[in-house]
Chains A and B, each alone.
Chain A
Amino acid sequence: MIQPSYLNVFLTFAKNSMIRDMSFRMNFILQCISSLSWAAMNYGLFLIIYQFSDSIGRQTGWGESEFFIFLGTIWIINSLIQTFFMANATEFSEMIRTGNLDFALLKPIDTQFLISFPRVNWAQLANAFLGLAVIIFYLHQLLNDPSKKMDFSIWSVFAYVFFVFCGTVVMYSVMIILASTSIWMGRNQNLHNFWFYITNFYRYPMEIYERGIGWALWGTFTFVVPILVVSNVPARVLAQPLGGHWGLWDWTLATMSVVAAAGSLWVSRCVFRVALKSYRSASS
C-alpha cells in the first residue's frame, strides 16, 4: 500500500512556513528581536540575583554557572515548543471552532500528525540558539574550574539531547490534550494561560521547592504533572550540580522522564482520538 512519507510532509510544512515567514519580513525580524530581548532580560535578572548569593539553597550545587546551564535548557525547550507546537495547538482549537478540521480529517495521513506540525514558527527558534550559546559558554567555565568534579563526555551530550527531547514530548502532549478538549467546549482559550502558569513553575531547579509549603508544589509537579522532570533531568545531565556521579535519585528522575514522555504521548493520543469522535464540524 502507498504510504505518505511523513518526513517529506514535515519538510514541506517547514518549507511552506519558511516561505510564509519570509514574505512578512518585518514581522519575522521583530518576533526574533522580541523573543531574544525577553531572554536577555531574563538572563540579566538572574545575573543580578547571583550578585547577592552564590547558590540557590545550601548544598544544592546550583551555583551561577550551573544555573545558567539550567536556564539555557529552559530556553531551548520553550523555544522548541513555541517553534513547532504552540501555533499549531492554538490553530487546532480554532479549526474545531470554525469547522476547518474537516480538511485534516479527509487526508490519508495520521490526523494527529497533520494538525501537530503544519506551522513552524521559525522566528521562535532564535532563543534555542541563544540557549545553546549560553550553555556552551557556562559549560566551558565549569570544565575549566578545577574545584568542580565534572564527568563530561560525548555521551553526556547524547543524554542531554535525548532528555530535552523527552521533555519536549511531555510538553507537547499536555498541549494536545488541552487543545483536544476544545472539541467538547467549542472554544478553548486556556492554552496560552496554561502555558504561562506551567512555565512559571518549571523554570527553576526543583530544589527551590524543597522547603515548607514548597513540598506540595514539588510533589505535584514531580509526580502528578511531571513538568519539573521535563526541565531538571536534562539540565542535571550537563550542569551536574552535585558532581558527575549519578545517585539513586538521578536514575529515578531519568526513568521518570522517559516514562512520562511515553505515557503522556500515549494519553494524548487516546484523548485526541476520543475527542475526534465527538467532532461535529461547524456549519458550512
Chain B
Amino acid sequence: MIALDYSGSLSFSNLAQTRLLACKHPIYNLAMSIIEINHLSKSYRVYQKQEGVWASIRGLFRREYREVQAVRDISLQVEPGEFVAFLGPNGAGKTTTLKLLSGVINPDSGDCRVMGHVPWERENEYRRRFALVMGQKNQLWWDLPAAESFRLNQHIYAVPLDEFDRTRDELCEMLDVTHLLGQPVRELSLGERMKMELIAALLHSPEVLFLDEPTIGLDVVAQHKIQQFLKAYQEERKNTIVLTSHYMKDIQALCQRVVIIAQGSIFHDGSLDDIIDRFSGDKIVTLQIGGPDEVFQGLRKLPNVLEVEPPRIKFRIGRDDVARTLSDILSTYAVEDIVVEDPPIEEVIAKVFTDAQGGQVDDESHPDIAGVS
C-alpha cells in the first residue's frame, strides 16, 4: 500500500479495482449464490503398473492401486454474473472440479448446488441451463459441417427455431466464422474449431458456462479473438462463467476473481492483484537518471540490480523498502522518471505453484483460506 503514495506518477492500474472487490466480498456471502460448493472431495484409484512384460503378467493376478486425491474438501461460492478463473498447475484438480460442477462425475463426499440443482443428479432442467466447453475434447461431429451439429443441439435442447437461428447468426458473426459453417469440422483449423465448439455450447443460451482451457494450443490471434468474444458475451448476457486456463493473458483479460487450486485444495481466492500483494514481497523499480554515466557506479551497488542501460537502471526491491530507498535516491540523484511495477504475474504464479506443491496447504499460515468458505 506504500506504493500508493507514489500513485501520481507511477503505474498501478488495477489497484483501485482490487480494493473494490475486496470490499464486495462480504456482501457476496449474504446474497444467493449461483454456485455453492461445500466440502467437496473426490479421489481416484489409479492402477500402478511397473514397467515390463513380467510386471504386466503379475498385474493380472495382483494389482496395486494408488489413491489420488483430486479434489479435497473444497468450499466456494460464486455469485451470479461473476467471471471466475480456476488457476493451478497440471493435475491440481481444476478440471475435476469443473466435471463435478457439471455432473459428469460423482463426488466422494461433500455437497454442491448450481442454480439450486445438485449437478450429479443430472436433472434435465439443470442440464438445459449450463454448458461445458473442453479445449481438449470436441463434441462436434468430425466429418460433418458444424452447422449440422448445431442443428442437432437445437433439437436436443429444444431451442425454438427462430431463437436458434438468431443466436447462431449472432454468435457466428461475433466470432467471424459464418463462412465456415458449411465446411466439415475435420477441415477446420484448431482455432476455427474451438470457435465452433463455443458456439455449439452457447446455442441454448446457458446461464452458467464452464470453460476448461478454451484457448489451449491456439495462436495469439485466435486466443485474443476468443478472449474478446468471451468478454463481450459475458458483458452482454451477464451470465456466470468459470474458466480454467494456463494462459495468464486469458485470466488477466477476463476474470475479476481468481481461485488458485493446488493439490486439490483452494490455495487462494481473490483478485489477481491480491495474489501479487500476498505472494510477492517485491517491486520492480526502473529509474531514469540524468547526468554522466559515472553516476551509475553508486547505484550499481544496490542489491538485486536487474539491468543497467544508461540512462536507465532496473532493480528489484522489497515492498517495505520502496519508500525509504526511493527517498534516499531522490535526494541524491537527479531522477528524471520513476516506474514502480509489480513483478510479472507469470513469475508470481510460478512461485505460488511451487510453494503450493512443495509445502502442504496450511490453513493457519494462510488465513485467507478460512475466509473462502
Contact = CB atoms under 8 A, between A and B. Distances in A.
A107 B156 contact: yes
Contacts of B122: 105, 111
Nearest to A4: B158
A277 B107 CA distance: 10
A102 B128 contact: no
B47 to A, nearest CB: 9
Interface stretch (A7-15, A189-197, A217-225, A244-252): A7-15
A284 B212 contact: yes
Q: Size class of A's contact patch?
A: 20 to 34
A280 B47 CA distance: 14
Contacts of A1: 124-125
Contact of A9 (B103, B148, B152): B152
A3 B158 contact: yes
Contact of A281 (B104, B124, B141): B104
B155 A5 contact: yes
Given A2-B158, A5-B158, A20-B141, A106 B184 contact: no
Interface residues of B, number: 35
Given A16-B148, A277-B106, A284-B212, A102 B156 contact: no
A99 B137 CA distance: 9
Contact of A108 (B124, B139, B144, B184): B124
B143 A102 contact: no
B105 A279 contact: yes
B70 to A, nearest CB: 10
Contacts of A13: 152
Given A16-B141, A277-B106, A284-B134, A106 B127 contact: yes
Interface in A56-115: 99-100, 102-103, 105-109, 111, 114
Interface string B127-147: 110011011110101011000
A144 interface: no
B148 A19 contact: yes
Interface string B286-307: 0000000000000000000000
Contact of A109 (B104, B137, B156): B156
Given A102-B104, A108-B124, A281-B104, A4 B155 contact: yes
B102 interface: yes
Contacts of B155: 4-5, 8-9, 12
Nearest to A101: B104
A144 to B, nearest CB: 48
Contacts of A107: 127, 156-157
A200 interface: no
A2 B105 CA distance: 25
A20 B143 contact: yes
Interface string A14-58: 011001100110000000000000000000000000000000000
B318 to A, nearest CB: 40
A16 B156 contact: no
B124 A102 contact: no
A198 to B, nearest CB: 27
A2 B143 contact: no
A62 B127 CA distance: 54
B95 A284 contact: yes
Contact of B136 (A8, A20, A279, A284): A284
Nearest to B142: A20
B272 to A, nearest CB: 24
Nearest to B204: A108
Interface of A: 1-5, 8-9, 12-13, 15-16, 19-20, 23-24, 99-100, 102-103, 105-109, 111, 114, 277, 279-281, 283-284
Interface of B: 44, 95, 99, 102-106, 122, 124-128, 131-132, 134-137, 139, 141, 143-144, 148-149, 151-152, 155-158, 184, 212-213
29 contacts: A1-B125, A3-B158, A4-B155, A4-B158, A5-B158, A8-B155, A9-B152, A9-B156, A15-B148, A16-B144, A19-B144, A99-B137, A102-B102, A102-B132, A102-B134, A105-B103, A105-B122, A106-B102, A107-B157, A108-B125, A108-B128, A108-B156, A279-B105, A280-B44, A281-B99, A284-B95, A284-B134, A284-B137, A284-B213
